Copies of this chain bind each other. A is one copy, B any other.
């Protein structure tokens, strides 16, 4: 009968998926990832447990999805932050500002718990052909731009590509956050980040004092 408004099968499936997704989101928000189980989610969504697994790989992958979605949203804010910096600021200073800012955001808005879960999930499953760690794509671009500008302005070495350096920076940043997650609350994320990136900028080799202007 319903020849007009009748949703086709794909639409229906998408609706089911979305009901599960939104139910999970709400429940997680209300009670946290640990306290909510898959049965709770499907109950609120009004579907059978099996349906959850028709639409999602696992509880963990759904959590990873939600967190990285959130992280991405937050990452978008860094661009604004960077634009707010004095336009003449040298790339190395801009980089450290950004790093400090990221530490603030992670420490205050995201929290160690969520980062820990994200990192655990990311290393815990070998499913993805690249789906993982995608959440730092935006961040990569920002690093890249700063570094690229630094190279153009001869402030950074030119024998390495900005892309290469940016990759290493993202990796280093991840190492710092991992350390922070594992050793919390022994270490302060911001301090650790800044020190590490200072090191990364200048290296540890002795500098000939004559080299300064």
Contact = CB atoms under 8 A, between A and B. Distances in A.
Interface of A: 92, 116, 119-120, 122-124, 126, 132-133, 147, 150, 154-158, 160, 164-165, 168, 171-176, 178-179, 181-184, 192, 195-196, 199-208, 210-211
B133 A182 contact: yes
A205 B155 CA distance: 6
A171 B154 contact: no
Given A132-B182, A174-B175, A202 B205 contact: yes
A115 to B, nearest CB: 9
A201 B200 contact: no
Contact of A206 (B154, B171, B181): B154
Contact of A160 (B132, B165, B175, B204): B204
B123 A206 contact: no
A119 B181 CA distance: 12
A132 B206 CA distance: 33
A182 B122 contact: yes
A205 B156 CA distance: 4
Nearest to A129: B186
Given A171-B196, A179-B171, A157 B204 contact: yes
Contacts of A202: 157, 203, 205
A77 B207 CA distance: 33
A165 B210 CA distance: 24
Given A120-B120, A206-B157, A175 B183 contact: no
Most chain-B CB neighbours within 10 Å: which of A150, A155, A173, A207? A207
Contacts of A201: 203-205
A165 B200 CA distance: 11
Contacts of A158: 206
Contacts of A168: 195-196, 199
Contact of A120 (B124, B156, B195, B199): B124
